[in-house]
């Protein structure tokens, strides 16, 4: 259990690191867009090679499909709630959709890490690195937008510390769940993470990367995909 918590903390720590990086320096718009694009590519690779593929292996298409639907709807509804609350407060969402996405895909993604540890598969270095690398742009982009919208440093850092803690604890939850969870439930967890990620990518991360990085966004996205795909397919 302590091992699961330790590896979960390592994977989730990049969320806080990204927020700190956003707070200690001002990121140029083009560079921030490139970071977001790289992260988007890494997340697309994670969906393809770590979540959907593994889910199909564990439980088949129906379990993955059910998880995809629930994950997609969960992010969609949570994002709408964030946008509505932000609009009422007069400051806009200010990076909160990316934070919601990091939470909704981070919980099941790190639960998958814990399940792997509990079933004796050990730590998937590829998944660990993919989570760490893809977390950075999400938190950097979100924290930068939050600061630009007028939110305090304390609020931004506190939010990302909370997301980090919850995601790290999800690894412990996955570890504890492994004994009771069958292949179908594990596949649905993979599908949930994939569904939340895909909606977040299309609705928030990719458009933001394109807006900030311009025509370079596509090329950097491919680079992020290639790096993460190589890590995911390490043997």
With CA atoms as reference, report the closest residue to 177 among 112, 109, 101, 222: 112
pLDDT of 91: 45
Query: Which mean pLDDT values do the consecutive 10-residue runs of the chain (235 residues) have?
Result: 83 89 84 85 84 84 92 84 58 63 75 72 66 78 80 87 90 78 80 84 87 92 89 67
Look up residue 193 and give its two tokens.
Answer: 């993470």
Count of domains forming the chain: 1
pLDDT of 17: 93
The parent domain of residue 8 ranges over 2-232
Does pTM top 0.85 for this prediction? no
Torsion sign across C-alpha atoms 72, 73, 74, 76: positive
């Amino acid at each position: 259990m302590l091992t699961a918590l330790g590896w979960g903390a390592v994977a989730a720590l990049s969320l806080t690191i990204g927020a700190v990086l956003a707070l200690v320096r001002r990121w140029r718009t083009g560079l921030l867009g490139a970071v977001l694009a790289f992260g988007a590519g890494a997340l697309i690779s994670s969906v393809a090679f770590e979540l959907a593929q593994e889910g199909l292996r564990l439980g088949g298409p129906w379990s993955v499909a059910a998880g995809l639907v629930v994950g997609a709807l969960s992010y969609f509804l949570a994002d709408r709630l964030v946008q509505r609350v932000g609009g009422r407060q007069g400051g806009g969402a200010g990076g909160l959709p990316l934070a919601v996405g990091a939470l909704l895909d981070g919980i099941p993604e790190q639960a998958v890490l814990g399940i792997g540890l509990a079933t004796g598969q050990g730590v998937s270095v590829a998944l660990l690195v993919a989570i760490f690398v893809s977390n950075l742009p999400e938190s950097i982009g979100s924290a930068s937008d939050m600061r630009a919208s007028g939110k305090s440093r304390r609020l931004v850092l506190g939010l990302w510390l909370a997301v980090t803690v919850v995601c790290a604890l999800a690894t412990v939850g996955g570890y504890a769940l492994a004994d009771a969870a069958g292949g179908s439930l594990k596949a649905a967890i993979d599908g949930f993470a994939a569904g939340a990620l895909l909606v977040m990518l299309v609705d928030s991360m990719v458009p933001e990367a394109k807006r900030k990085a311009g025509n370079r966004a596509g090329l950097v996205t491919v680079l992020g995909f290639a790096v993460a795909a190589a890590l995911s397919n390490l043997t």
